[in-house]
Structure 1
Amino acid sequence: MNAAIETQTKLAVASLHRFVGKADKGLLDDDELLYLVIALKKVPQRPRQDKPLRIPIPHPIYAVDNAEVCLFVKDQKGEGHKAAKLKVREERVAGISKVVGVSKLRTKFESHEAKRQLCNSYDFFAADERILPSLPKLLGKAFFKKKKQPVPVRLTGKDWAGQIRKACESTYLFWSGGSSLTIKVARSSQSEQQGVENALAAISAAVEKVPRKWAGVQALFLKTADSVALPIYQVLPDAPTKIEQ
């Protein structure tokens, strides 16, 4: 990792903590999320992918024992939903506050207002990886605007608790199909050092997934939902290719 990036990351995280502290009158109770924004030199020539890439971070953004997690499960005409709820209860899967079957998403949460309320009711959303492709249409825009897209968990095995914990202790890169990527990296309630370590871990892992890696990155920024984007790395645009006459 470039030493200049580490220095700028430390400065940016410190500035964002001060910004959140002032906004909350010196308190960090609102627990703002910090985001890493990766500006790409070119729009990737790949289709939008609904299955995100998991990125391990040293300090979890969501504590599984305290998080309010909503789990979307595979069912058919309501069958499978009750079995999933029973399994969660019997195995005491930490963090799961609500289990919702796909069939209920189509009926009970059909309206935009119902989707918006569902989005606002939970900290984190996970989904059986088998149903992930069908969720964007069922959930609508609210989840994507608030960057609460469900992350995949494997529920075909026995260790549901381990899958949920693994999901909560990671962050995710969603391929949006655009020229930038946004990744959650920390919370303002975490220490500045934890925020820096998370951001640097996310940068290292995410850049490896970018086409051409560092050669494909135009700039890196850190921000909260309401702050300006603070640059931590920038390069000049590539010179246009000359066309021989």
Structure 2
Amino acid sequence: MASSKVTLRSDVAVSLLEPEKTLRASKALVSHLKSEAEKKAANASKKELLADDDVGSLGETPVFVTFTTKRHLTESRNLKPTKIPTPFPIETDTDKGICLIVADPQRHYKNLVADSEFPDDLRKNVSRVIDFGKLKKKFSAYENQRALYAEHDIFLGDTRIINRLPGLLGKTFYKSQKKRPIPIEIQTRIPKSAGKRVKPAKGDVNSCTAVQLAGEIKRAVAAALVNLTPSTNHAVKIGYASWKAEDLAANADKVVSVMVNKLIPGGRKNVRSIYLKGETRLTSPYLPLANCCKGPETVALPIYLTDELWVDREKDVVGDEEAKTLLAGEKANIGKKRKSLEGTAEETEPVSKKSKKTKPAKVPESNDDKLDKEIADRKATLKKQKKAAKKALDV
């Protein structure tokens, strides 16, 4: 009997990680975080009555896969998280509230959530369904946005209005990556007629079914999220410290495969290092900078390190002989034109040479006889002009 397992293209692609090395790093990281939690509980002077147990505290400690690349992944900041499906769901807490932001009208999508085909256990988590119009009307004030942010744990946004949410919700939701709205596809594909898509009739709502909506919500909550920024460092949450090391290793392999083959431009050539990273809130001698940092400290274990520091050695690295010829041919850029960023020539101010000190010119000595003669000649000329003017008036 043939196997029913379907292999994805990303699974066939060559992975950078060695499974055994990733599993060893996962076991070491989980063991370290558990020992730190036990030390913290033992060193506590008074046990808090409302404090969680070790398993609960470890369940809130996230584990990340961090990527360091040689070049930036994007040129601009992308505020829409990218979803990566993982073998083991990231969020499994059934008590977390979900806010669903949809396109107009919201009543149609509330009816989908209340439909009998929608799973009952998931319906309990969907605490609010609101459309973009109501969101803009009720939550445009900063205080209302803060209240909405604190009221729910996960926010899901319709792909039709997801790009309009940053301008409305602002820094309240997008300053950090913790509760950014996750895009979900809740509209159906309109079939084509004669090569063109037929627009829905006025009043009809283009939406999926209740079963499809539930599947979209489950996949969005269970996926690992990537927020691409114009930088060389990115972190992706793959689970929590209370998980099994095998589960963390499986999620790490999947996330690395998708990142390298789909999201990182240049693929494996652009990857410098990959680490497994966990957080601990107890000062530890194993951690670097533990004595000088405040707040949560981190521990990271390498699972991939590249030997080449360049994406393309032939283009990025110059040979010794070529470097010597380039350095020998360079001259000081004094009084030359240089090209500006726009491509137009820009003149540089020439360096002024030190001028020699010149002696002041000698002032000629005054001669009173010449000055008296000049004055007398000017008076005679003025008298002639007056006489000529007087004769002209008499005539």
- Inter-partner Cα distance in structure 1 for 2:149 and 2:41: 23
- Range with greater deviation from structure 2 (172-181 or 125-134): 172-181
5 Å matches for 1:60-99? 60-63=89-92, 65-75=94-104, 80-91=105-116, 92=118, 94=122, 95-99=125-129
Contact 2:30-2:242 within 8 A present in 1 as well? no
Contact 2:26-2:248 within 8 A present in 1 as well? no
What TM-score, normalized by structure 2, do the two folds share? 0.54
- Range with greater deviation from structure 2 (166-175 or 135-144): 135-144
Residue among 240, 243, 265 paired with 1:211? 265
Counterpart for residue 149 of structure 1: 180
Counterpart for residue 7 of structure 2: none
**1:200 aligns to 2:231 (yes or no):** no
Q: Over residues 77-100 of structure 1, what are the superposed CA-to-partner deviations in whole Å (9 max), with x where a residue is unaligned?
A: xxx122222221224351322112
Residue among 166, 174, 181 paired with 2:234? 181
Tell me which amino acid in the other structure corresponds to 2:220.
A
Tell me which amino acid in the other structure corresponds to 1:53.
T
Residue among 231, 234, 239 paired with 2:301? 231
Specify whether residues 20 and 181 from structure 1 end up closer, same or farther in structure 2 by C-alpha distance, changes over 3 A only: farther
Counterpart for residue 153 of structure 2: 123
- The structure with more strand, counted as a fraction of residues: 1
Specify whether residues 114 and 229 from structure 1 end up closer, same or farther in structure 2 by C-alpha distance, changes over 3 A only: farther
Deviation at 1:16, TM superposition (A): 3.4
Counterpart for residue 44 of structure 1: 73
Contact 2:26-2:245 within 8 A present in 1 as well? no
- Range with greater deviation from structure 2 (136-145 or 52-61): 136-145
* RMSD (Å), alpha carbons: 2.8
Q: Look up the SS of the partner of 2:56 in the other structure.
A: coil
Contact 1:70-1:126 within 8 A present in 2 as well? yes
Deviation at 1:133, TM superposition (A): 0.9
Residue among 47, 55, 59 paired with 1:28? 55
Larger RCO, structures 1/2 (Cα 8 Å, 6+ apart): 1
What are the ranges of 5 or more consecutive residues in structure 2 without an aligned counterpart?
A: 1-16, 43-52, 188-207, 281-295, 327-395
Aligned residues: 241
5 Å matches for 1:128-139? 128-139=158-169
- Inter-partner Cα distance in structure 2 for 1:69 and 1:190: 23
- Inter-partner Cα distance in structure 2 for 1:5 and 1:47: 32
**1:56 aligns to 2:56 (yes or no):** no
Deviation at 1:23, TM superposition (A): 5.2
Q: Over residues 137-184 of structure 1, what are the superposed CA-to-partner deviations in whole Å (9 max), with x where a residue is unaligned?
A: 222234341422221111112211111112122112221222222212
Specify whether residues 64 and 231 from structure 1 end up closer, same or farther in structure 2 by C-alpha distance, changes over 3 A only: closer
Specify whether residues 21 and 122 from structure 1 end up closer, same or farther in structure 2 by C-alpha distance, changes over 3 A only: farther
Counterpart for residue 169 of structure 1: 222
Deviation at 1:186, TM superposition (A): 0.4
Contact 1:9-1:199 within 8 A present in 2 as well? no
Deviation at 1:17, TM superposition (A): 4.2
Deviation at 1:73, TM superposition (A): 0.8
Specify whether residues 168 and 212 from structure 1 end up closer, same or farther in structure 2 by C-alpha distance, changes over 3 A only: same
Q: Over residues 30-87 of structure 1, what are the superposed CA-to-partner deviations in whole Å (9 max), with x where a residue is unaligned?
A: 4222222212211124443344332111211223754421111112xxxx12222222
Deviation at 1:128, TM superposition (A): 0.7
Specify whether residues 203 and 137 from structure 1 end up closer, same or farther in structure 2 by C-alpha distance, changes over 3 A only: same
Specify whether residues 83 and 19 from structure 1 end up closer, same or farther in structure 2 by C-alpha distance, changes over 3 A only: farther
Q: Look up the SS of the partner of 1:228 in the other structure.
A: strand
What TM-score, normalized by structure 1, do the two folds share? 0.82
Specify whether residues 224 and 115 from structure 1 end up closer, same or farther in structure 2 by C-alpha distance, changes over 3 A only: farther
Contact 1:64-1:165 within 8 A present in 2 as well? no
Contact 1:20-1:28 within 8 A present in 2 as well? no
Specify whether residues 182 and 24 from structure 1 end up closer, same or farther in structure 2 by C-alpha distance, changes over 3 A only: farther
- Inter-partner Cα distance in structure 1 for 2:31 and 2:221: 25
Counterpart for residue 344 of structure 2: none
Contact 2:156-2:183 within 8 A present in 1 as well? yes
- Inter-partner Cα distance in structure 2 for 1:177 and 1:117: 31
